[in-house]
Amino acid sequence: MNKIKALIVDDSKIMRSAVKRALDQLMIADFEYVEAMNGEDALEQFNDEIQIIFLDWNMPKMTGVEFSKAVRAKGNTEHIPVIMVTAEKSMGKVDIALNEGGANEYITKPFTADKMHKTIKRYFDDEGNLNTGKEKSEKKSFFSNILKS
């Protein structure tokens, strides 16, 4: 099983730990974590090796959506799933993150490992590798997520 390099961006250390704990619990892949405290910090840490991003919205210096936009603007990053993990719950915010920010998925806090699994499992194959097929860069409707859960 290859290591998947995941960038976890949240200004709360507790929440970064919660995301890592949930991902380890899923045993969906073998993750190696890079952590950032805000969007600006995340942009500094972002490089070609990052394979998936878990991203809070409301952070000092640069928000999660601003960071996501900046990553997408770099080009050749559409294959990297951006998973918003945020307390922002209004439908307007979901729409902004998915359609303007370039995020692929939206999870609201507090989340369970099960909720995380349902959201991200389609990005991984049975061997714990990130899928390279077409579906990984497709946006999944937050509303269809709600209907399925």
**CB of 11 or CB of 40, closer to another protein:** 11
The Cα diameter of the chain in Å comes to: 39
CA atoms of 4 and 51, how far apart (whole Å) = 6
Residue closer to another protein by CB (options 66, 128) is 66
Nearest approach in angstroms of CB 58 to another protein is 6
CB of 19 to another protein, least distance (A): 12
101 and 77 Cβ atoms separated by less than 8 Å: no
Q: Minimum distance from CB of 127 to another protein (Å)?
A: 29
CB of 99 to another protein, least distance (A): 18
What residues contact 10, with CB distance under 8 A and at least 6 apart?
16, 19, 37, 54, 55, 56, 59, 85
Residue number with CB closer to another protein (105 or 123): 105
The strand pairing partners of 101, in sequence order, are: none
* Residues at the interface with another protein (CB under 8 A): 11-15, 17-18, 21, 58-60, 86-92, 108-110
Cβ closer to another protein: 57 or 124? Answer: 57
Which residues lie below 8 Å from residue 53, measured CB to CB, with a gap of 6+? 6, 7, 9, 42, 68, 71, 80, 81, 82, 83
